[in-house]
Amino acid sequence: MRKELLAGLAAVGIGCSQTSSNSLISKVANPQYKYLGIVIDGPLDYAQRTVQALQLIYSYDPANWVIIRNNVTAIRLNPPSKAHVDTGVLDTDANMETPSSYQSIYWVAGELVHDAWHREYYRKGEKYYGWEGEKKCMERQNEFFQKIGYQQLDIELMLQTRYWEIEPRTW
């Protein structure tokens, strides 16, 4: 499986000009790609970073990989960032508006984990939005960050900002 994942990343790196039934990523529309059943909608460099983030989750955190696969149908460059819990589509801004400290591939992977948990909680009928929902998703994000050795979020400080209520959203 790991060999197939590397082959999929290589396909993204060469622009997916040649796809086969063995390829895990294929170009399905301009500018859409498909990676392990997840549509990635955006330019090639965005698709490459998204695949790298997905592979990081797959490699270091099998439990959260299952959450991603069960809850994410598409990841698209469509600011502002938002999880569409009814469809499994994650809109992102590719961190274009965020400080450089939040632009690493580790941060991107953590955001995907966070947003996938919003949908998981929605599908389970649990609180998935507001203070409680954000707290639960940040806790899951921190669990992932711990597994990859990345700096933990200060959840209490972030909750105090009530960032999910800020309009217009720029993340």
Q: Is 170 within a domain?
A: no
For the chain, percent of residues with pLDDT exceeding 90: 57
pLDDT in tens, 38-79: 999 988 888 899 999 999 999 999 999 999 999 999 999 988
Domain-embedded: residue 151? yes
Q: Residue 97's pLDDT band (boundaries 50, 70, 90)?
A: low
The span from the CA of 15 to the CA of 56, in Å, is: 20
> What spatial distance separates the first Cα and last Cα of the chain, rounded to whole Å?
34
pLDDT at residue 31 in the model = 73
Quick check: is 18 in a domain? yes
- Tens digits of per-residue pLDDT, 2-37? 433 333 443 333 333 333 323 456 666 667 899 999
- Is residue 43 assigned to a domain? yes
Whether residue 36 is contained in a domain is answered as yes
Looking at per-residue pLDDT, the higher value among 96 and 81 belongs to 81
pLDDT at 11: 38
Number of Cβ within 10 Å of residue 107's Cβ equals: 18
Per the domain annotation, does 59 fall within a domain? yes
**Is the C-alpha dihedral spanning 72, 73, 76, 82 positive or negative?**
negative
pLDDT category at 96 given cuts 50, 70, 90 is low
Domain count, the chain: 1
**Whether pLDDT at 140 is above 80:** yes
Quick one: three-class SS letters along 106-117?
HHHHHHHHHHHH
The verdict on residue 40 lying in a domain is: yes
Q: Whole-angstrom Cα distance, residue 160 to residue 131?
A: 9
Residue 112 in domain: yes
Q: In which domain, by residue range, is 156 found?
A: 2-165
Asked if residues 94 and 43 have their Cβ atoms less than 8 Å apart, the reply is no
In 3D, which of 21, 109, 13 has the Cα closest to residue 58? 109
